[in-house]
Chain A
Amino acid sequence: MIAHVTAALLAAMAPAQQADTTFAVDAIRLEVTQLEGVISVTGWDRDEMRVQASYDEDEGRLDIRQSGGTIHVSTKGEWGEPVYGELALSVPRSIALEITGVSLEVGIERSAGSVSVSTAEGEILLVGGSGNVALNAVNGPVTVAGASGKIAVNAVDGDVSVSESDGAIAVTAVDGDVTLEGITSDNVSVNAVDGDIAYDGTIVDGGRYVLSTHDGDLDVLIPNGANARISIDTFSGELDTDFAVELEGDFGKKRISFTVGTGKALVELSAFDGIISLRQE
């Protein structure tokens, strides 16, 4: 129960460069705001939260507050200015996480709750996570492994990798490659502007898989036994496929579609300018 956590602790102010505190929680959500620095979150099987923090400046503050079912953690300087800091949090595995920062590297592992991360500069690494997973990065790679649920990744400049994950997956990227491996999903959407896209995962009956890039290659592996209606669009790209697709004339500037098996899944591939490689497992 949150009653175990005293008000004094929840409003803890740590004027020193180091802080380390552990308290019981029954919150369902954790919001962390850390403008600069590094944050690592590890899920554990305890109804407690441990916060270890270190700062660059003497005047840095660590605020831990609770309102309703949400615990808020933030760091700031004396006048509210950004303070570089490193936070290591151990949290109940099921707690929902929302982490926002500007120049922030974020690593999360062994989480079993929803995860939302937004940062401008810095890498995002997520191992685990379930429910709604939303990761937004401007400059830095995003790596997801073992997530489950509704996974949305938006990256501007940086590669995106999602592996061994299941659920609805939506990825957008501008400058960067997108790699999806070991995916179990009936709903995948990837849109890149300048980057390659690779997909290795299930193609299930009734599923929809939309992969689109402007300037990049597509590499898609169609599993054995898949039933899919496959459509391919390009402007000036090329098609390289194991399937016995009969093409009339140039492939460029036209759409082709064909059916594999009973065609119960929908696979839409497009590369304005790039090589579409469609391989059969």
Chain B
Amino acid sequence: MNASIALAMKPGDGGSAANNDLDDVRLAAGGDVAAFERLYHRHVARVHSLVSRMLEPELADEVTQDVFVRVWAKLGTFRGDAAFSTWLHRVTVNLVLGQRKKLGIRRERYLPDAEAVLDRTSGAEPRAAIGAEFEAGMRRLPDRAREVFILHDVEGFKHREVAEMLGVTTGTTKAQLHRARMLMRKYLSP
């Protein structure tokens, strides 16, 4: 499968891709590895991107594999209430959050204060190569703000869902989201 197919699998997408997913989930749940490989190729880019953004990028390959192995084991529990892509996403987020907790990820920074880092680099390359610049900015966000920002603004989860995943209140997720956006704004400003 190619990247364009994976890119087409944004939340809420319906149509033939989702139907293909359902067919392949049924087959894979029955032990059809080829069907599971098709699911993998359709969704790996999105899973890998999420993992890469939420964890240290160097762990992304390993954890992405972990996600799909986990999904394979859990296919029998997929009831089809939501799209497979949504369910897969939930599994990914849960695993990533668990991984963060397990590894006790704490990014050591050259400059330990996030605000200072963002200030320091402001204007280095204003609005150029916005995608890469944006990704670099996200990596510098404080951990909680980064989690909320990625789950809400990048991945499209609602505050209620983000709060549930992180075990915090929606008040906290809203405050962290605003903090993250303000830091990103400062980072991206010329």
Direct contact between A and B in the complex (CB less than 8 angstroms)?
yes
- CB-based contact B136/A257 at 8 Å: no
Beta-carbon contacts of B46-58 to A below 8 Å, as 1s and 0s? 0000000000111
Asked if A261 lies at the interface with its beta carbon under 8 angstroms from chain B, I say yes
* Distance (whole angstroms) from the CB of B8 to the closest CB of chain A: 22
- Of the listed stretches B20-28, B74-82, B94-102, B104-112, name the one at the interface; the rest are far from the partner chain: B104-112
CB under 8 Å from chain B, chain A span 130-174: none
Given contacts A205-B129, A231-B58, A268-B58, contact A262 B136 (CB under 8 A): yes
Neighbouring B residues of A245 by C-beta, 8 Å: 110
- CB-based contact A258/B110 at 8 Å: yes
- CB-based contact B132/A206 at 8 Å: yes
Asked if B115 lies at the interface with its beta carbon under 8 angstroms from chain A, I say no
- CB-based contact A266/B57 at 8 Å: yes
- CB-based contact B133/A262 at 8 Å: yes
CA distance A245 to B111 in the complex (A): 9
CA distance A62 to B134 in the complex (A): 60
CA distance A164 to B59 in the complex (A): 30
* Distance (whole angstroms) from the CB of A263 to the closest CB of chain B: 5
Size range of the chain B interface in the assembly: 10 to 19
- CB-based contact A262/B124 at 8 Å: yes
* Distance (whole angstroms) from the CB of B130 to the closest CB of chain A: 11
Neighbouring B residues of A258 by C-beta, 8 Å: 109-110
Neighbouring A residues of B140 by C-beta, 8 Å: 259, 263
CA distance A258 to B108 in the complex (A): 7
Chain B residue with Cβ nearest A244: B110
Neighbouring A residues of B133 by C-beta, 8 Å: 262, 264
- CB-based contact B132/A205 at 8 Å: yes
Asked if B119 lies at the interface with its beta carbon under 8 angstroms from chain A, I say no
Given contacts A205-B129, A231-B58, contact A264 B136 (CB under 8 A): yes
Tell which of B107, B124, B132, B140 has the most Cβ of chain A within 10 Å.
Answer: B132
Neighbouring A residues of B125 by C-beta, 8 Å: 262
CA distance A208 to B58 in the complex (A): 9
CA distance A231 to B57 in the complex (A): 11
CA distance A258 to B112 in the complex (A): 10
* Distance (whole angstroms) from the CB of A204 to the closest CB of chain B: 10
Neighbouring B residues of A210 by C-beta, 8 Å: 58
Asked if B121 lies at the interface with its beta carbon under 8 angstroms from chain A, I say yes
Given contacts A266-B57, A266-B58, contact A259 B110 (CB under 8 A): yes
Chain B residue with Cβ nearest A260: B110
Asked if B135 lies at the interface with its beta carbon under 8 angstroms from chain A, I say yes
Beta-carbon contacts of A251-279 to B below 8 Å, as 1s and 0s? 00001111101111010100000000000
* Distance (whole angstroms) from the CB of A52 to the closest CB of chain B: 45
Chain B residue with Cβ nearest A267: B58
Please tell me which one of the listed residues B108, B121, B132 contacts residue A255 in the complex, with CB atoms under 8 A apart.
B108
Neighbouring B residues of A259 by C-beta, 8 Å: 109-110, 117, 121, 136, 140
Neighbouring A residues of B107 by C-beta, 8 Å: 257
Neighbouring B residues of A256 by C-beta, 8 Å: 108
Neighbouring B residues of A246 by C-beta, 8 Å: 110
Beta-carbon contacts of B118-143 to A below 8 Å, as 1s and 0s? 00010011000100110110011000
- CB-based contact A263/B139 at 8 Å: yes
CA distance A256 to B136 in the complex (A): 18
* Distance (whole angstroms) from the CB of A267 to the closest CB of chain B: 10
Beta-carbon contacts of A209-229 to B below 8 Å, as 1s and 0s? 010000000000000000101
Chain B interface (Cβ < 8 Å from any Cβ of A)? 56-58, 107-110, 117, 121, 124-125, 129, 132-133, 135-136, 139-140
Q: List 17 A-B contacts (CB under 8 A).
A: A208-B57, A227-B136, A246-B110, A256-B108, A257-B109, A258-B109, A259-B110, A259-B117, A259-B140, A261-B124, A262-B121, A262-B125, A262-B132, A262-B133, A263-B139, A264-B135, A268-B58
18 new A-B contacts, CB < 8 A, other than A259-B140, A263-B136, A266-B57, are A205-B129, A205-B132, A227-B136, A229-B57, A229-B136, A245-B110, A255-B108, A257-B107, A257-B108, A258-B109, A258-B110, A259-B109, A259-B110, A259-B121, A263-B139, A264-B132, A264-B135, A268-B58
Interchain residue pairs A-B with the least CB separation, the first 5: A258-B110, A264-B132, A263-B136, A262-B136, A205-B132
Chain A interface (Cβ < 8 Å from any Cβ of B)? 205-206, 208, 210, 227, 229, 231, 245-246, 255-259, 261-264, 266, 268
